[in-house]
Structure 1
Amino acid sequence: MSGLKTSPLNKVYQQCGAKTIDFGGWELPVQFSSIKEEHQAVRERAGLFDVSHMGEIEITGVEAEALLQYLVTNDVSKLEVGDAQYTAMCYETGGTVDDLIIYKQASDRFLLVVNASNTEKDFEWIDSHVSETVKVRNVSTSIAQLAIQGPQAEKILQKLTAETLSTIKPFTFREPVDVNGVKSLVSRTGYTGEDGFEIYCPWDEAEGLWQSLLEAGKEEGILPCGLGARDTLRFEARLALYGQELTESISPIEGGIAFAVKVDKEADFIGKAALKKQKEDGAPRKLVGLEMIDKGIPRTHYEIYADENKIGEVTTGTQSPTLKKNLGLGLIDREFAKIGNEVEIDIRGKRRKAKIIKAPFYKRG
């Protein structure tokens, strides 16, 4: 796969025979063993993901927070140093530029973690709104990211650090944390619906840290995991994927992350008027859970019908490894979005019945 960007763990992929694909211009593993096996490991024990393709953008300066308040939908003023926050950037129309996580490292320093395929677009978008007192740097090529996820994640990671991990609460972080000799930022965040940690470390130390984590988790049955399991895990937990549940034409409210849109925050932000209208009047479309009644799997972009009217399309769909059902997420016209309603999905030219159900499909106990 020449011409693709590669992770610092690319040699590891080759050594262990991982199946790799082109993912947004990166050569990344879709699976190491099997998607179902890796998915199950995360739900029951622990899984380790290489997420080094994600983008990191550093924003510094006395007006860094004010800039972020203007750029994002969530309320950055609520963050203390050591807090992380999930949010979105929007266009004036309310469509989504990207969804991202903000880490507040100091009163005048923030780290943004953005989707890999959007890194350059996001950097240019942020940079176009910068004042002289703020500096923006794309630091993606110096930072690697590993994610250890699952019920045993804390126990495994604790073997490699003196930091008391139980005191790192969800959506908070510590830095620097010594993880087996590697100075890292460690956050209690993830993209699987399970407890776990994301570890940001120097690019050239990622391979050693990866091997250390797998060795530490042998007894607990940790598995290396690829993009396939990452997608089925986040899907079951109804965690949005940019390009599917969120796009430049799908707002955060339509895409199911209204909780990250604070239209009542004092600061003005890009898209505020459009998003406020959607919150007050109801967004024209709604993201719903779908369970197939007839045979078939609802795949991305399959059209959804009520009677003979097209009412939307599937954003993500698969056979749920946890629930053993053919499930989907669909963005449909609001008036058809009632739980229990039956709809039809066009699967390769044939209409197949499905019903609207509650999502997320999975929540950890």
Structure 2
Amino acid sequence: MNTNPIFPVPYERAGVLTPGLPILPHGVERYPVPGGGSRAVRVEQGDEITVQDREGLQPVELVFFAPDGRSDAGMIGATGGRDPAGLKAALLGDPSGARVVRALDAAGFDIARADGTVIFEGGSRPGEFRSFVAACDGLLIVCAAGGAMEPHEQWAPTEVALYIRRANPDMARSGLLPPDPLADPLMDFNIRPGEAKPYEVRKGQFIQVLDVQGRECSDFQAFSQRALDRGLEREIDPTTTRSLMGSLYPAPGIFSKYFSVDQEPLVEIVRDTVGRHDTFGLACTARYYEDLGYPGHINCSDNMNRELAAHGVRPRGGWPAINFFFNTMLDDANAISMDDPYSRPGDYVLLRALTDLVCVSTACPCDVDPANGWNPTDIQVRTYDKSNEFSRSIGWRKTPEADVEQTKKTGFHDCFARHTRDFTEYAGYWLPSQMTNHGAIAEYWAAREKAVVMDLSPLRKYEVTGPDAEELMQLCVTRNIKKLAVGGIVYTAMCYEHGGMIDDGTVYRLGETNFRWIGGNDQSGLWLRKQATERGMNAWVRASTDHHCNIAVQGPLSRDILKQVIWTPPQQATVEELPWFRLAIGRIGDFHGPSVVISRTGYSGELGYEIFCHPKDATAVFDAVWQAGEPMGMIPLGLNALDMLRIEAGLIFAGSEFDDQTDPMEAGIGFTVPLKSKEDDFIGRAALERRKANPQKQLVGLELAGGIVPTPGDCVHVGKPQIGVVTSAVKSPVLGKVIALARLDVAHSELGAQVEIGRLDGDQKRLLATIVPFPHFDPTKERVKGNYG
């Protein structure tokens, strides 16, 4: 892959590597451009412009406007004469286009008169880039052009990166600037390290506390204005908040609120891009520094006292606060410790005021411990009017170096929102936990007796194409892909060299050189791309998760429901003909309906199917399935019921039954490693051969007496020594008993053996259990094969 000195590199000093803080050369700015979207950036004469195609095969349109309104690609050294049709579509159809439209309107530029240029039009490799130099000042617009992808197609627009190396960087500017506001701010002020600033916020308004440089703690406290007017100090109270929220760590999300001692809700969290903050310790105090040998050290509590005095708030030796970005933790003895914050440059928390407030925020001055990564920096605070609409989200990243992404709604979100408001964050998306008028038990029984529809859109999809696609898949997964027919699907593991699992997932073969990988995490797709790039394979691996949303219809009646809904052309199998682990390309209703891919797969242990479509067709697909299924007793199913189904069926889950230290045999899916019939080498083969010859752990089923459901992670004992760990557990509705999956030492994994599950400290309370075969329910998989009435 090409390299260039403008690209970011991980920060490293004295042997300490921090990939979460990538370093750009001085004067270089980076702007991600979403797939199918656009970005407008002002450039100056002499600025170097570089566009990098992150995943390959992504055409990019460029438009440049001079200050006088002229558009000429030659002003950046490019060849123009092209109509920027992709950009025009993006301005209308992609959310990123709104900002570009505002920038054009503010400058008075006419996109209809734009002189466009296209790069990477003939194909590009992952990481390939093109560079230009601006001959004059102007506005540069970059578009990663592309539209909706049909579910049977394998090209989706993907993100590109724009880098600007400034010809005249501001030498007086130190560090990074705050990112653009989320909307037009009411207040927008910077807090330098060692400062605190008070501010007033009206009910319904939003507060954004932003870590500009990264790794900086900011203490936040809010007082009820109504109480202060009566001479009462009623601020956020940690004990009340913990008790009412039922959580030691007040977590961000749809129900996260913070209360006064009078149990009045003061603020709620709307967005959090970090996910790790202090659990209501004190803001730093004079005594803290004195006890460390630093008398007179500036501290946040004294700063807050000084600034709050004007509002009639009495001083305190130490202020309880929401210590945003402060990374404290409790060990197994409940002792408090700390480490560097998790926050990166531009990370923030967005709150909404639930009543009129007097607030105070700080930028912590601590430079004697890891609280601020040993380097105090600045905090930005912005407030926004209540008329704004901000989606609720928890930030997530594909890799430590990746840009933060907000929690998204799937294409089917609004369809399931008709049935519930109980959504939880799952792998960067909102998924329903359970349905308002049903609940997990009713949803479970519907899956066992009738049918359910569930949202599985967060599954990660990657399109693997090119002449070497089969070779790449054969190298990276444990199953024999050479034996997979076109239209076939295989469940497999993907491993590292040492045999630990990256992911489990399914490979869909859409053509001789066309595959679709569907897994649980992005790391598996990134691993595929890494191998293709490093080994010089003629294959491309491109993310398509946001272009393939999918629902699963599962249960005994799923075939009878979908045969009314799915039309397939003569050369494709009908729903009734479709065998287990096969796919068909069809449409909803008839020849003119929305395009779908349907597969005979699922994650419930029941007869079932998955339907893949583009998000633009999601509502039509759901409504068609619902119209056919509701009269037959089909109901929606959430994550709580799905966990019951999959544990009974012995289906494994990442982070529970496997991780990167667990091999497929230890995870209970040794059947996905055909070492004898797959003669070709693959990544991890040598390690798996050694592990299989010398097994250490084995996944087993447990039945428990006593009715108590153990917690994943509970220790499993034979007498005093621990011999394993519980990976998943549930009270099985159909079996009427508590069951579990556990990973045990092979010396104690014999069927019928008695073991004990430790609670409390592992010794003071034990749950008696027996090792039994698994799957606990339908061990011959007759139900998933559909061989019942």
The 1-side partners of 2:567 and 2:414 are apart by 30
Name the count of aligned residue pairs. 360
* Aligned residue in 1 for 2:582: 172
Q: 2:771 aligns with which of 337, 340, 356?
A: 356
Please, which moves more after superposition, 346-355 or 185-194? Answer: 346-355
* Aligned residue in 2 for 1:326: 738
One-letter identity of the residue aligned with 2:650? R
* Aligned residue in 2 for 1:278: 691
One-letter identity of the residue aligned with 2:493? A
How does 1:171-250 map onto structure 2 within 5 Å? 171-175=581-585, 177-180=586-589, 181-250=593-662
Q: Secondary structure at the match of 1:345?
A: strand
Is the 2:561–2:629 contact (alpha carbons within 8 Å) kept by the matching residues of 1? yes
Q: 1:343 aligns with which of 755, 774, 789?
A: 755
* Aligned residue in 1 for 2:531: 129
The 2-side partners of 1:356 and 1:132 are apart by 46
1:139-187 Cα distance to aligned partner (Å, 9 max, x none):
1111111100011001000111233212110001112x01231211111
Q: Secondary structure at the match of 1:219?
A: helix
The 1-side partners of 2:733 and 2:711 are apart by 15
* Aligned residue in 1 for 2:497: 92
Is the 1:299–1:318 contact (alpha carbons within 8 Å) kept by the matching residues of 2? no
* Aligned residue in 2 for 1:261: 673
* Aligned residue in 1 for 2:413: 10
Q: Secondary structure at the match of 2:527?
A: helix
The 2-side partners of 1:16 and 1:236 are apart by 26
The 2-side partners of 1:162 and 1:206 are apart by 16
One-letter identity of the residue aligned with 1:351? R
Q: Secondary structure at the match of 1:58?
A: strand
**Is the radius of gyration larger for structure 1 or structure 2?**
2
One-letter identity of the residue aligned with 2:548? I
Q: Residue 23 of structure 1: CA displacement?
A: 1.8
Is the 2:450–2:634 contact (alpha carbons within 8 Å) kept by the matching residues of 1? yes
Q: Residue 219 of structure 1: CA displacement?
A: 2.3
* Aligned residue in 1 for 2:567: 162
- 1:20 is aligned to 2:435: no
The 2-side partners of 1:136 and 1:341 are apart by 46
The 2-side partners of 1:362 and 1:153 are apart by 19
* Aligned residue in 1 for 2:260: none
The 2-side partners of 1:251 and 1:109 are apart by 28
One-letter identity of the residue aligned with 1:178? R
One-letter identity of the residue aligned with 1:14? A
1:304-361 Cα distance to aligned partner (Å, 9 max, x none):
0011010010000010122111110000000100111111101334111111111101
Runs of 4+ in 1 over 6 A off after TM superposition: none
Is the 2:426–2:458 contact (alpha carbons within 8 Å) kept by the matching residues of 1? no
Q: Percent identity between the aligned chains?
A: 33
Please, which moves more after superposition, 85-94 or 271-280? Answer: 271-280
Q: Residue 26 of structure 1: CA displacement?
A: 2.1
TM-score by length of 1: 0.96
RMSD (Å), alpha carbons? 1.3
Is the 2:517–2:525 contact (alpha carbons within 8 Å) kept by the matching residues of 1? no
Q: Residue 109 of structure 1: CA displacement?
A: 0.3
The 2-side partners of 1:261 and 1:274 are apart by 12
The 2-side partners of 1:14 and 1:213 are apart by 16
- CA pair 173-14 structure 1, distance change in 2 beyond 3 A: closer
* Aligned residue in 1 for 2:458: 53
One-letter identity of the residue aligned with 1:358? P
The 2-side partners of 1:351 and 1:24 are apart by 34
Q: Secondary structure at the match of 2:561?
A: helix
TM-score by length of 2: 0.45
- CA pair 75-132 structure 1, distance change in 2 beyond 3 A: closer
Q: Secondary structure at the match of 2:687?
A: helix
- CA pair 263-245 structure 1, distance change in 2 beyond 3 A: same
The 2-side partners of 1:54 and 1:279 are apart by 29
1:201-232 Cα distance to aligned partner (Å, 9 max, x none):
11111122112211101221001111111111
How does 1:104-143 map onto structure 2 within 5 Å? 104-115=509-520, 118-119=521-522, 121-130=523-532, 131-143=536-548
Higher relative contact order (CA 8 A, sep 6+): 1
- 1:144 is aligned to 2:546: no
What stretches of structure 2 of length at least 5 have no aligned partner? 1-252, 254-391, 394-406, 569-573
Is the 1:60–1:136 contact (alpha carbons within 8 Å) kept by the matching residues of 2? yes
Q: Residue 280 of structure 1: CA displacement?
A: 3.0
Q: Secondary structure at the match of 1:122?
A: helix
Is the 2:468–2:537 contact (alpha carbons within 8 Å) kept by the matching residues of 1? no
The 2-side partners of 1:170 and 1:333 are apart by 34
Q: Secondary structure at the match of 2:645?
A: helix
One-letter identity of the residue aligned with 1:228? N
One-letter identity of the residue aligned with 2:691? Q
Is the 2:731–2:738 contact (alpha carbons within 8 Å) kept by the matching residues of 1? yes
One-letter identity of the residue aligned with 1:43? R
Is the 1:296–1:347 contact (alpha carbons within 8 Å) kept by the matching residues of 2? no
Q: Secondary structure at the match of 1:318?
A: strand
One-letter identity of the residue aligned with 1:274? A
The 1-side partners of 2:415 and 2:755 are apart by 45
* Aligned residue in 1 for 2:320: none
One-letter identity of the residue aligned with 1:26? Y
Q: Residue 50 of structure 1: CA displacement?
A: 0.9
* Aligned residue in 2 for 1:41: 446
Q: Secondary structure at the match of 2:550?
A: strand
What stretches of structure 1 of length at least 5 have no aligned partner? none
One-letter identity of the residue aligned with 1:191? Y
Is the 1:294–1:354 contact (alpha carbons within 8 Å) kept by the matching residues of 2? no
- CA pair 14-197 structure 1, distance change in 2 beyond 3 A: closer
Q: Secondary structure at the match of 1:218?
A: helix
Q: Residue 132 of structure 1: CA displacement?
A: 4.2
The 1-side partners of 2:730 and 2:717 are apart by 19
Is the 2:443–2:637 contact (alpha carbons within 8 Å) kept by the matching residues of 1? yes
The 1-side partners of 2:726 and 2:454 are apart by 27
The 2-side partners of 1:43 and 1:218 are apart by 16
